[in-house]
Amino acid sequence: MHAEERDLRRNDGFTLLEIMVVVLIIGLLMTVLATNLFSRLGRAESDIAKMQVTKLSQQLELYKLDNGTYPTTEQGLDALVHEPTTEPRARRYPPGGYVTSKDIEDPWHNPFKYERPGKNNTQSFDLYTYGGDNQPGGDGENADVGNWETTAAQR
């Protein structure tokens, strides 16, 4: 009977070594999962920035149809949110504007950049963001996204 009692006591629980191995395996799995999740999140923000650039470009085209010209660089994208008070004034500005103030921010909460005439689009405007690092250039999540790229990709 003593041998049976000894076997029962040995199987009563897990050893410290077994618990440490399980915790280590769970930690490794979480590291792999987190790495994949964060890389996809960065890619998703870049895709959202491209969609926002396309949407804002469409609203700027609508602004031009209504008012005969794009906003000036000085008026900026705020002209899509609030009716401009400087020349050239808007002729037919819709109540409530064209977009909300949140729409003129990129996914990293920085304002989109707007230039008219643009360096890339000399007949219209450049609309762009510097990406996650808010610095010119970069790769991946930190890459610049501009309307000259999204327009070319749609052709």
Residue 95 above 60 pLDDT? Answer: yes
Look up the CATH number of domain 45-154.
Answer: 3.30.700.10
Give the residue with greater pLDDT, 147 vs 44: 147
Residue boundaries of the structural domains of the chain: 45-154
pTM of the model: 0.70
pLDDT tens digits, residue range 125-135?
Answer: 999 999 989 99
Average pLDDT, the chain: 86
For residue 109, name the pLDDT band (cuts at 50, 70, 90). very high
Interacting residues of 149 by C-beta distance below 8 A, sequence separation 6+: 50
Residue 154 above 80 pLDDT? Answer: no
At 60 the three-state DSSP class reads: helix
User: Are residues 127 and 60 in contact, defined by beta-carbon separation less than 8 angstroms?
Assistant: yes
Q: What's residue 64's pLDDT?
A: 96
pLDDT tens digits, residue range 17-51?
Answer: 888 888 988 888 888 887 776 666 667 888 899 99
Sign of CA dihedral 19, 22, 28, 31: negative
Give the residue with greater pLDDT, 75 vs 28: 75
32-36, 53-57, 91-95: range with lowest mean pLDDT: 32-36
